[in-house]
Amino acid sequence: MRALSIVGARPQFMKLAPLSRAFSAAGITHTILHTGQHYDHSMSDVFFDELKIPRPDINLAVGSGSHGAQTAQMLEGVEKVLLSQNIDCVVVYGDTNSTIAGALAAVKLHTPVAHVEAGLRSFNRAMPEEINRIATDHVSDVLLAPTHTAMKHLSNEGLASRSHFTGDVMLDTVLFNRKLADSSRILDKLGIAGQGGYALATVHRAENTDSAERLKGVLGGLEKVGARIPVFFPIHPRTRKCMSDIQFEFGADSNVNLIDPLGYLDLLELAASAQLILTDSGGLQKEAYFLEVPCVTMRDETEWTETIESGANKLAGAIAEKIESCADEMIGSKVAYDPVHFGAGNAAELIAECVVNLQ
Ligand code: UD1
């Protein structure tokens, strides 16, 4: 079995890491293609280094661009690779432009496609990720679902016969790296080792960054939380640009500390020791739950409804006062991870089995 993994954006590298180990244990010949969607050292290389993922065999170096241009270049690049190599299965991850480009190029060449993190739905079609998810699920041959809710969505769309519940590969990654993250010096670097509570915040969703009103609401919310506990905010390059476009600056006495994007181990350590996580990222909502840290999600809906049902997460939208009141409610609340939701941390092994069975 020769599998080609297609990745390109930060959250995909964390999903690839456990699969790269599981594929090798299952005797799968594994090639890694990086589309180049994320290219900054802090958005890409650092994850390959820290998570000990083999260097990509191929890098399309597509870089930034409009959705159409970026996806089209990837589609063309992946097709060329598939035409020149013998690949039995293409594996795509999550919901980015790299995911849909990889899936579409492969299915048109009749190469079976396995979709890791299938079946997620926000039911918000204004999100580029929602379109990528729906389209990828419908063209893929094997749908690997991280939750039972995802299985239900796939079944509702007539895709049950291609779907498998595997649990979430991001849980595999958290469990594997939790001990290693103890060696991170991030708390010392930020001067907060042993210093009581702080909140970790991230913001990068287009729905928040590309609307001045929403972005002001979210950043205003962080400022309000900062009045209670210090907020550490590793900032995505696009968010930094959007903040400067609307000329937003945190007040001089605000306790919101902007820092550069973090590597995986530093982020894991900072998240695990936080009193509260404020985010619009799908991945961090789950990591908060796995690490049993309460979370406030600065979105109107979430694909990860299990985190809400378990009381670990609260939706605050992009309104500063709502973010503040949700943070007040969540600080100090107890969170306990229930394996019924995202599996037992062996998703990569189960996915490797599904891929081997494609033969
Ligand atoms: C993409 C995914 C999103 C995922 C996110 C994780 C899509 C549609 N969206 O969004 O689902 O949660 O990755 O970060 O695929 N940039 C840099 N350096 C980089 C990468 C990006 O400066 O290494 C800046 C550029 O200005 C670029 C912008 O960020 O134009 C957007 O990057 P892009 O990869 O298109 O989307 P993300 O916003 O990161």
**pLDDT tens-digit map of 319-330:** 999 999 999 999
CA of 245 to the centre of ligand 1 (A): 17
Q: Tokens representing 160?
A: 């049950």
Which residue's alpha carbon is at the smallest distance from atom 5 of ligand 1? 9
Collapse the DSSP code of 314 into the 3-class scheme (helix H, G, I; strand E, B; otherwise coil) and give the result. strand
Collapse the DSSP code of 248 into the 3-class scheme (helix H, G, I; strand E, B; otherwise coil) and give the result. coil
pLDDT of residue 251: 87
- In this structure, how many other beta carbons lie within 10 angstroms of the beta carbon of residue 238? 15
Which residue's alpha carbon is at the smallest distance from atom 24 of ligand 1? 238
Give the residue, 183 or 243, on which the prediction is more confident.
243
Residue 359: pLDDT over 90: no
Active-site residue (options: 38, 204, 236, 341): 204
Residue 96: pLDDT over 90: yes
Which residue's alpha carbon is at the smallest distance from atom 31 of ligand 1? 238
Q: Which of 112, 127, 118, 99 is nearest to 168 (CA)?
A: 118
pLDDT of residue 314: 98
pLDDT of residue 195: 74
The answer to whether residue 204 is catalytic is yes
Which band of pLDDT confidence, cut at 50, 70 and 90, is reported for residue 220? very high
Cα 53–Cα 291–Cα 209 angle in degrees, nearest 5: 75
CA of 340 to the centre of ligand 1 (A): 32
pLDDT of residue 144: 98
Residue 194: pLDDT over 90: no
- CA-to-CA distance for 329 and 143, rounded, in angstroms? 37
**Pocket residues for ligand 1 (CB within 6 Å)?**
9-11, 37-40, 43, 64, 95-97, 128-129, 204, 236-238, 241
- CA-to-CA distance for 334 and 314, rounded, in angstroms? 13
261 Cβ contact list (under 8 Å, min separation 6): 40, 42, 43, 234, 235, 236, 237
Residue 196: pLDDT over 80: no
- CA-to-CA distance for 343 and 87, rounded, in angstroms? 30
pLDDT of residue 30: 98
Across the chain, mean pLDDT equals: 97
Mean pLDDT score, 123-145: 97
Collapse the DSSP code of 205 into the 3-class scheme (helix H, G, I; strand E, B; otherwise coil) and give the result. coil
CA of 238 to the centre of ligand 1 (A): 7
Which residue's alpha carbon is at the smallest distance from atom 22 of ligand 1? 237
Range in 66-80, 179-193, 206-220, 232-246 with the lowest mean pLDDT: 179-193
Mean pLDDT score, 208-229: 97
Mean pLDDT score, 192-204: 90
Which band of pLDDT confidence, cut at 50, 70 and 90, is reported for residue 252? confident
Mean pLDDT score, 339-357: 96
Which band of pLDDT confidence, cut at 50, 70 and 90, is reported for residue 253? confident
pLDDT of residue 132: 98
Mutate to test the pocket of ligand 1, among 34, 35, 38 (most ligand atoms within 8 A of CB): 38
Q: Which atom of ligand 1 is nearest to the CA of 132?
A: 8
pLDDT of residue 273: 95
- Count of CA atoms in the C-beta half-sphere (13 A) of 308: 15
Q: In the chain, pLDDT over 70 holds for what percent of residues?
A: 100
In our burial notation (b when 16+ CB lie closer than 10 A, e otherwise), range 192-205 reads beeeeebbbbbbbb
Q: Which atom of ligand 1 is nearest to the CA of 94?
A: 11
Which band of pLDDT confidence, cut at 50, 70 and 90, is reported for residue 193? confident
Angle separating helix axes 237-245 and 212-226, nearest 10 degrees: 100
Give the global pTM: 0.96
Indicate the burial class of 331 (C-beta count within 10 angstroms; 0-12, 13-18, 19 or more). Answer: middle
CA of 328 to the centre of ligand 1 (A): 31
pLDDT of residue 166: 98
Mean pLDDT score, 61-75: 98
